[in-house]
Amino acid sequence: MSELDRIRSAVTSSSDRFLQHLKHACSFPSISAEGLGLADMAIWLEGRLLDLGAKVSRLSVPGSPEALLGEFVGADSDRTLMIYDHYDVQPVDPLDLWDSPPFEATERDGKLYARGAADNKGDLVARLAALEVYQELYGQFPYNIKFFVEGEEESGSVYFERICEAFSEELKSDDCVWEGGWFDLDGRPEMYYGCKGLLYMELHHKAITGDQHSSIAVYAPSAAWHVLRALASLKDSEGNVVVDGFHDRIVPPGTREKELLDAMQFNEEAMKKRLGITEFVKGLRGNDLKYELLYAPTANIAGFNTGYTVPGGQKTVLPAEAMAKIDFRLVPDQDGTEIAGLVRRHLKEKGFGDIQAHVLSHENPSRSPLDSTLGRAAEATAAQWFKDPLTIYPYMWATGPMFPIAQGLGIPICSPPGVGRPDSNLHAPNEHIHIDDFYDIIGYTVAYLREYGQTDPS
Amino acid sequence: MSELDRIRSAVTSSSDRFLQHLKHACSFPSISAEGLGLADMAIWLEGRLLDLGAKVSRLSVPGSPEALLGEFVGADSDRTLMIYDHYDVQPVDPLDLWDSPPFEATERDGKLYARGAADNKGDLVARLAALEVYQELYGQFPYNIKFFVEGEEESGSVYFERICEAFSEELKSDDCVWEGGWFDLDGRPEMYYGCKGLLYMELHHKAITGDQHSSIAVYAPSAAWHVLRALASLKDSEGNVVVDGFHDRIVPPGTREKELLDAMQFNEEAMKKRLGITEFVKGLRGNDLKYELLYAPTANIAGFNTGYTVPGGQKTVLPAEAMAKIDFRLVPDQDGTEIAGLVRRHLKEKGFGDIQAHVLSHENPSRSPLDSTLGRAAEATAAQWFKDPLTIYPYMWATGPMFPIAQGLGIPICSPPGVGRPDSNLHAPNEHIHIDDFYDIIGYTVAYLREYGQTDPS
């Protein structure tokens, strides 16, 4: 029996119990945006970590939910692997679109439906299970493990950077297993080494004291036109952002990254069909499209509201106020605070300095070396474990709170394949995972934890 | 006793009864936008006209509310004066902001509060009262009178043009008394000879099948940016409309109109204070400001809506759809249908041909000769009747359904001073008039009806 088969067999013999653990974890309504059920979920998690032999600490700063740190002492105490997950979940609205109650994990057709099943309790519980299987098969870990689980990822990780700074000594590690990659729709595993950043701004302008009859638009200033023209000034006619300095810090892909881009799968026709379009913007296709997806920042209008908006209705109003929301997806090494300053300077210089431009949140983009010790271990293991080849993304195109770990604490991050799929309905009703993926990821995690111990530090 | 004093005395002796008539008229919830109470109001009005000796017809086309035509045969049957009013009113929302029930006319501090008290049942009932006083003082009218009252002015007079066309013979007249001018805030009477037009368009664009995670804004088209850029393309950086042909038909003011502009009162500081601004757009002041108010068209964004718009909230969404409403105030001789075509052609030429641009309504601008028989009679009477000088506007800056009468039937229009004031809260809660203005306008109307009979046709 090969080593990997031993692992598979060990997972299988406890699979029912591991699934029960996941169902139990999914029974807690740990919705951070609503402050619900976090404490009970933290107690359950602490119990699991204690069962596995960890020393557990609760890390917090004033106002924050508690992050849990479960420390396992390894045979070689000079080397430490961090595993990052989060125990909070998204809200469940609209509740009436769920086919089964979101906090009663339900099996249907080989899938498990529950809020958090994919994001990210599935990975969290799979990794706890992997620690158990590892210890059962191999005894003490050869290196220290710091199992670090925050409770506010789904509400913007507002305090996360401060927690990481306040406990930088406690969190010191050599590598970090991030939240979790994916399987694609065809079941091919995917992993990534970084993420885009996000700067979320809200523009607001009040031009006159109150709404007026539109006949006076002749002489009274229009908040709607002012904010509209301010937004229009951010881009040229091709859709490129023209804010001075916006692109200055962008790091182009290196040789290895270009190879990864070449190898990336992107089913253009399927995506066009899903969106109901015949062309991507700027006619993007092939490598250009993949390049933009990972290396191009965006300035997206997430919302704009002014005046009277009942479809088909008529009100001849000059609206007093206008509001717009823009989310900028940032790429390494753009900095959210700096970009917000550039946007404000741009608005001022273009004659829109009277528009309030608030930053609602920002998370910086993050990237880690593509040849980290963990990365090599996870890639080598994936090549043996999965029947399909691994797709490696230098970054994921979405955003997560990686920056405080990867850049703040200087710990290289890698996000090996995890339990989710693109149709897992993350942040949506009927979130689910394939139960076989869950077992598969437990075994794969055991295998790369073992491989990591046998990989020479880079 | 002077002739005007005789008229004043006759009004005073029936003033209580006339106020009762107005209160009765205001008790009907004749909200055309909601199809309420129109029939009862029409019955009441028909009764009043019959009492006064008119022959009453009900004019309608399929789908329209009924317009009433009350005809009085004059001694000289070759000459006919039309009097136009409307018997419908605006909706009453928000009801909780009314200090007394909108359809129970209530006296407070010399004012009468009710929906329609100013717009336009006050003028309607004052003119009916004037017909009564006239007949009491002078007997038969020296010319025919066609008292024409429509029931859908407050919902865009959708069928009004068709009614005017269908009954063009019945409506044939030499002059038309329009709905009613005003007193300004200082009590000075105002009248006008025309109005701006209105073209109300709604733009709508759906770029993708449904809202998406904003990370794919890299390659998926944005409805928000598309509609925003389409709107931005309509104006230059100074705010001037740059749609080809938009200004072509605009008629500049003539000598008499320029004199009237010079004489127009416009309290710039009071208006700035009311709006909470320090400057009008483009630094407009003095005659330039008055000129723009009457002779410049507008393109006003009445509404724009796309995506997520909860203030302070964050949702990283690429909205699938965007919607905007624009109202264009048109000036003579712009044509609403033609302008809509020009806007559509502009959008197409600028790359926005995929945006739906619906016309929700349009009313053409209208102007009448400044030296009509009726105008001369109303001006001459005003000079004697009111202690303050009359302000004459070639056009009012708002819009009404004048075009089908003035241009469609070729009847010169004049809107002599009426019962409203700028703070009468038209279309708003606590609509009201000054009761003394109501009596004053009854008498003034008797006086100019008499003067009209003595004025040589121009």
* pLDDT tens per residue, range B380-389: 999 999 999 9
User: Which of B308, B337, B363 is at the close of a domain?
Assistant: B363
Cα nearest neighbour of A322 on chain B: B304
Q: From CA B253, how far away is CA B262, in angstroms rounded?
A: 12
pLDDT band at A427 (very low <50, low <70, confident <90, very high): confident
The pLDDT value given to residue A36: 79
pTM across the whole model: 0.89
pLDDT band at B314 (very low <50, low <70, confident <90, very high): confident
Interface list for B 290-309 with A (CB within 8 A): 292-293, 296, 298, 300-309
The pLDDT value given to residue B33: 84
The pLDDT value given to residue A213: 87
Task: Say yes or no for a CB contact (<8 Å) between B208 and A311.
Answer: no
For residues B69 and B133, state if they share a domain: yes
Q: What percent of chain A has pLDDT over 70?
A: 100
Task: Say yes or no for a CB contact (<8 Å) between B314 and A224.
Answer: no
- The residue that leads in pLDDT, A419 or B266, is A419
Whether A458 shows a pLDDT value over 80: the answer reads no
The pLDDT value given to residue A186: 85
Domain coverage including residue B214: 196-250+297-363
pLDDT digits (tens, 9 = 90+) for A354-377: 999 999 999 999 999 999 999 999
The pLDDT value given to residue A77: 81
Tell me, yes or no, if A409 comes closer than 8 A to chain B by beta carbon: no
The pLDDT value given to residue A34: 85
pLDDT digits (tens, 9 = 90+) for B434-445: 999 999 999 999
For residues B152 and B189, state if they share a domain: yes
For residues A240 and A387, state if they share a domain: no
**Of the partner residues A200, A318, A397, the one whose CB lies closest to the CB of residue B215:** A397
For residues A357 and A381, state if they share a domain: no
Task: Say yes or no for a CB contact (<8 Å) between A208 and B276.
Answer: yes
The pLDDT value given to residue B426: 87
User: For residue B32, is it within any domain?
Assistant: yes
User: For residue B101, is it within any domain?
Assistant: yes
> Residue B323 sits in a domain of what CATH number?
3.30.70.360
Cβ within 8 Å of residue A258, ≥6 positions away: none
- Is B283 exposed, middle or buried (CB count within 10 Å of its CB: 0-12, 13-18, 19+)? exposed
Average pLDDT over residues B129-137: 98
> Domains in chain B: how many in total?
2
Q: Mean pLDDT across chain A, nearest whole number?
A: 95
Asked which of A31-40, A324-333, B220-229 is least confident by mean pLDDT, the reply is A31-40
Average pLDDT over residues B36-56: 96
For residues B18 and B138, state if they share a domain: yes
User: For residue A235, is it within any domain?
Assistant: yes
User: For residue B275, is it within any domain?
Assistant: no
pLDDT band at A348 (very low <50, low <70, confident <90, very high): very high
**If you average pLDDT over each of A147-151, A237-241, A267-271, which comes out highest?**
A147-151
User: For residue A290, is it within any domain?
Assistant: no
For residues B311 and B170, state if they share a domain: no
Tokens 């670090």: give the residue: A148
The pLDDT value given to residue A126: 98
Q: Mean pLDDT across chain B, nearest whole number?
A: 95
For residues A150 and A43, state if they share a domain: yes
Q: CB B258: neighbour CB atoms within 10 A?
A: 14
A288-291 long-range contacts, CB within 8 A, separation 24+: A289/B219, A290/A261, A290/A264, A290/A266, A291/A253, A291/A261
Whether B1 shows a pLDDT value over 90: the answer reads no
A183–chain B nearest CA distance, Å: 19
For residues A149 and A84, state if they share a domain: yes
Cβ within 8 Å of residue B309, ≥6 positions away: A303, A304, A305, A323, A325
CA gyration radius, chain A: 24
User: For residue A286, is it within any domain?
Assistant: no
Which chain B positions have a beta carbon within 8 Å of A361's beta carbon? 314
Whether A350 shows a pLDDT value over 80: the answer reads yes
The pLDDT value given to residue B193: 96
Whether B458 shows a pLDDT value over 80: the answer reads no
ipTM comes to 0.89
For residues A73 and A202, state if they share a domain: no
The pLDDT value given to residue B53: 97
Q: From CA A84, how far away is CA B213, in angstroms rounded?
A: 24
For residues A23 and A129, state if they share a domain: yes
Tell me, yes or no, if A33 comes closer than 8 A to chain B by beta carbon: no
pLDDT digits (tens, 9 = 90+) for B392-438: 999 888 889 999 999 999 999 999 999 999 889 888 889 999 999 99
User: Which of A306, A330, A363 is at the close of a domain?
Assistant: A363
Q: What percent of chain B has pLDDT over 90?
A: 86
Rounded to 5°, the CA angle A345-A349-A351 comes to: 120
User: For residue A402, is it within any domain?
Assistant: yes
The pLDDT value given to residue A94: 83
Rounded to 5°, the CA angle B241-B242-B247 comes to: 70
Which chain B positions have a beta carbon within 8 Å of A119's beta carbon? none
Does the CA dihedral B37-B39-B40-B44 come out positive or negative?
Answer: positive
Whether A26 shows a pLDDT value over 90: the answer reads yes
B172–chain A nearest CA distance, Å: 31
Listed residue (A105, A91, A106) closest to A37, CA to CA: A91
User: For residue B168, is it within any domain?
Assistant: yes
Cα nearest neighbour of B216 on chain A: A293
Which chain A positions have a beta carbon within 8 Å of B232's beta carbon? 228-229, 232
User: Which of B331, B363, B395 is at the close of a domain?
Assistant: B363
pLDDT digits (tens, 9 = 90+) for B181-213: 999 888 899 999 999 999 999 999 999 998 888
Does the CA dihedral A234-A243-A254-A448 come out positive or negative?
Answer: negative
For residues B103 and B152, state if they share a domain: yes
For B13-91, list the strands marked E by DSSP: 55-59, 67-72, 76-86
Average pLDDT over residues A30-36: 87
Cα nearest neighbour of A200 on chain B: B314
The pLDDT value given to residue A385: 98
The pLDDT value given to residue A243: 98
Whether A426 shows a pLDDT value over 90: the answer reads no
For residues A41 and A181, state if they share a domain: yes
Buried b (16+ CB within 10 A) or exposed e, A399-410: bbbbbbbbbbbe
